[in-house]
Amino acid sequence: MKFQRRRSPDVSVDLTPLIDVVFLLLIFFMVTTTFVREGRMGLELPEAQTEVTTQPTEPLRIVVSADGDYSVNGRALTDAAVRTLMAALQEASGGDTELPLVITADGRAPHRAVVRVMDAAERIGFGKVSIAIRPEEDGGA
pLDDT of residue 97: 85
pLDDT digit string (tens) for 52-108? Answer: 555 557 888 999 988 889 999 888 988 888 899 999 999 998 888 888 889 998 888
Q: Rounded distance, CA 128 to CA 118, Å?
A: 11
The DSSP H or E segment spanning 103 is strand 101-105
Q: What sections of 10-134 are H helices per DSSP?
A: 16-32, 82-93, 111-124
| Residue 23's pLDDT band (cuts 50, 70, 90) | very high
How far apart are the two ends of the chain, measured CA to CA in Å?
80
Q: What SS3 class is residue 121? A: helix
* 85 touches 117 (CB < 8 A): yes
- Whether the per-residue pLDDT at 14 is higher than 60: the answer is yes
The answer on pLDDT for 19 being more than 90 is yes
> What does the buried/exposed string (b/e) look like for 90-115 if buried means 16 or more CB atoms within 10 Å of the residue's CB?
eebbeeeeebebebbbeeebeeebbe
- Give 134 or 99, the one with higher predicted confidence: 99
Confidence of residue 10 (pLDDT cuts 50, 70, 90): confident
Walk me through the domains of the chain, giving residue ranges and CATH numbers.
60-131 (3.30.420.270)
- pLDDT confidence of residue 56: 57
